[in-house]
Amino acid sequence: MASWIAELQEIVGREDVLTDPERLLAYECDGLSIHKHPPAAVVFPESAEEVVGIVKVLWRHRVPFLARGAGTGLSGGAVAVEGGVILELARMNHILEIDYANRLAVVEPGVINLMLTRAVADAGYFYAPDPSSQMACTLGGNVAENAGGPHCLKYGMTVHHVLGLDVVLPNGEVVTLGGHGTDAVGYDLLGLFVGSEGTFGIVTKITVRLTRQPQAVKTLLADFLSVEDTSRAVSAIIAAGILPSALEMMDRATIEAVEASVYAAGLPTDAAAVLLIELDGLAASVEHEAERIVELCRTNGARQVIVARDEAERARLWAGRKGAFGALGRISPDLMVQDAVIPRSTLPEVLPEVYRIAARYGLRMANVFHAGDGNLHPNICFDGRDSDEVRRVKEACREIMELCVRVGGTLTGEHGIGLDKIAYMPLVFTDDDLEAMARVRAVFDPEGLCNPGKVLPVRRCRAF
Residue 18 β-bridge partners: 42
CA angle 405–407–410, rounded 5-degree value: 30
> Does residue 11 bind ligand FAD (CB under 6 A)?
no
> Does residue 261 bind ligand FAD (CB under 6 A)?
no
Which stretch in 12-20, 73-81, 306-314, 341-349 sits in contact with ligand FAD by CB under 6 A?
A: 73-81
Distance between CA 404 and CA 346 in Å, rounded?
9
Segments in 208-270 forming alpha helices (H): 227-239, 252-259
Closest distance between ligand FAD and the C-beta of residue 45, in Å?
A: 10
Distance between CA 153 and CA 420 in Å, rounded?
25
> Does residue 71 bind ligand FAD (CB under 6 A)?
yes
Of 133 and 211, the one with the shorter C-beta distance to ligand FAD is 133
Segments in 61-132 forming alpha helices (H): 113-121
Which stretch in 55-63, 93-101, 195-203, 354-362 sits in contact with ligand FAD by CB under 6 A?
A: 195-203
Segments in 250-369 forming alpha helices (H): 252-259, 283-299, 311-322, 324-329, 347-360
* Interface characters, 101-120, with ligand FAD (x: CB under 6 A): --------x-----------
Of 39 and 71, the one with the shorter C-beta distance to ligand FAD is 71
Residue 459 β-bridge partners: 462
Looking at residues 17 to 56 of the shown chain, list those that interact with ligand FAD (rule: CB under 6 A): 30-31
> Does residue 131 bind ligand FAD (CB under 6 A)?
yes
* Interface characters, 342-361, with ligand FAD (x: CB under 6 A): --------------------
Distance between CA 64 and CA 398 in Å, rounded?
29
Q: Which of 140, 374, 448, 453 binds ligand FAD (CB under 6 A)?
A: 140
* Interface characters, 358-377, with ligand FAD (x: CB under 6 A): --------------------
Q: Which of 271, 327, 451, 456 binds ligand FAD (CB under 6 A)?
A: 451
Closest distance between ligand FAD and the C-beta of residue 450, in Å?
A: 9
C-alpha Rg value of the chain to the nearest Å: 22
> Does residue 380 bind ligand FAD (CB under 6 A)?
no
Closest distance between ligand FAD and the C-beta of residue 351, in Å?
A: 19
Distance between CA 393 and CA 178 in Å, rounded?
41
Distance between CA 162 and CA 139 in Å, rounded?
10
Of 203 and 234, the one with the shorter C-beta distance to ligand FAD is 203
Q: Give which of 430, 378, 422, 434 is closest to 404, Cα–Cα.
A: 378
Distance between CA 54 and CA 46 in Å, rounded?
11
Closest distance between ligand FAD and the C-beta of residue 451, in Å?
A: 5
Distance between CA 78 and CA 88 in Å, rounded?
10
Expressed in percent and rounded to 5, the helix, strand and coil fractions of the chain are: 40, 20, 40
Closest distance between ligand FAD and the C-beta of residue 144, in Å?
A: 3
- How far CA 147 is from CA of 134, 415, 424, 453, in Å, comes to 10, 7, 20, 20
- How far CA 274 is from CA of 237, 255, 324, 390, in Å, comes to 14, 8, 13, 30
> Does residue 198 bind ligand FAD (CB under 6 A)?
yes
> Does residue 178 bind ligand FAD (CB under 6 A)?
no
Contact indicator for 88, 44 with CB cutoff of 8 Å? yes
H/E run at residue 337: strand 334-337
Closest distance between ligand FAD and the C-beta of residue 284, in Å?
A: 30
Of 145 and 445, the one with the shorter C-beta distance to ligand FAD is 145
> Does residue 74 bind ligand FAD (CB under 6 A)?
yes
* Interface characters, 423-442, with ligand FAD (x: CB under 6 A): --------------------
| Count of residues that bind ligand FAD according to CB under 6 A | 37
Distance between CA 320 and CA 259 in Å, rounded?
8
Which stretch in 196-204, 304-312, 379-387, 401-409 sits in contact with ligand FAD by CB under 6 A?
A: 196-204
Q: Which of 50, 248, 251, 414 binds ligand FAD (CB under 6 A)?
A: 414
> Does residue 77 bind ligand FAD (CB under 6 A)?
yes
> Does residue 320 bind ligand FAD (CB under 6 A)?
no
> Does residue 456 bind ligand FAD (CB under 6 A)?
no
Contact indicator for 449, 64 with CB cutoff of 8 Å? yes
Distance between CA 236 and CA 63 in Å, rounded?
53
The set of residues, in sequence order, having a beta carbon less than 8 Å from that of 246 and lying 6+ positions away, is 150, 151, 153, 154, 276, 277, 278, 370, 372
> Does residue 235 bind ligand FAD (CB under 6 A)?
no
> Does residue 141 bind ligand FAD (CB under 6 A)?
yes
* Residues at the site binding ligand FAD, with contacts judged by CB under 6 A: 30-31, 66-74, 77-78, 89, 109, 131-133, 137-138, 140-142, 144-145, 147-149, 197-198, 202-203, 325-326, 414-415, 451
